[in-house]
Amino acid sequence: MEPPPPAGRADALQLAFDLSPVGLCVTENRSVVLCNPAFAAMFGYAPGELLGQPLEPLYPSHEEFEQIGSIGRPAMQASGTYSDDRIMRRRDGSLFWCHVAGQALDRSRPFARAVWMFEDLSQRRPVAGALTAREREIGRQLVAGATSKQIGRVLGISPRTVEAHRARLMKKLAAGSQRELVARLMGSGQP
């Protein structure tokens, strides 16, 4: 019995795409044009269900979809890439932390076509408590190590408003310090 012929390059690339343990997708104007089974499963969809669909329903809210787009677009225009850790939404409405990294095909029009990788972080970083969209955004920035002044600049609010949100987060998550707050936002109870 002869061994099967070696797979061609295109077959090998398709196999790598289909069997990747992380979600992969290609988007045009923030809509899915191609995705692998891991991407669909991560969000609770069957393969093919997301094709042609906008990414917005995968975000916890319209505001968060817009906010991340307004942060990601200039970063992709400057470097061609963008990545962050953010909270995303599954089909059943449950929220989860996800690491997202993308590459624009054309830096001058970064959302025209881009390739994205999504890694589900929920096993090591469960979502902490029921947070508002603004609290999630501030929490995302805090986890990334941003200061109140930096967060205020990114979100278009004053550092004092950021501090007020941070105080509410600390109370809501029963955190006694900034370090403990970040630990709770990251899903571990310990700082």
Name the least confident of 32-41, 68-77, 144-153. 144-153
Positive or negative torsion for Cα 22, 27, 29, 33: negative
Question: What is the location of CATH 1.10.10.10 in the chain?
Answer: 133-185
SS3 state at 83: strand
Q: How confident is the model at residue 190 (pLDDT cuts 50, 70, 90)?
A: very low
Q: Which residues of 79-117 are buried (b: 16+ CB within 10 A; e: fewer)?
A: eebbebebbbbbeeeebbbbebebbbeeeeebbeebebb
Question: What is the location of CATH 3.30.450.20 in the chain?
Answer: 17-120
CATH number listed for the domain at residues 17-120: 3.30.450.20
CB atoms within 10 A of CB 132: 15
Per-residue pLDDT at 3 exceeds 80: no
Q: How confident is the model at residue 149 (pLDDT cuts 50, 70, 90)?
A: very high
CATH number listed for the domain at residues 133-185: 1.10.10.10
- What is the DSSP code (8-state) at residue 29? T
18-28 per-position pLDDT tens digit:
999 999 999 99
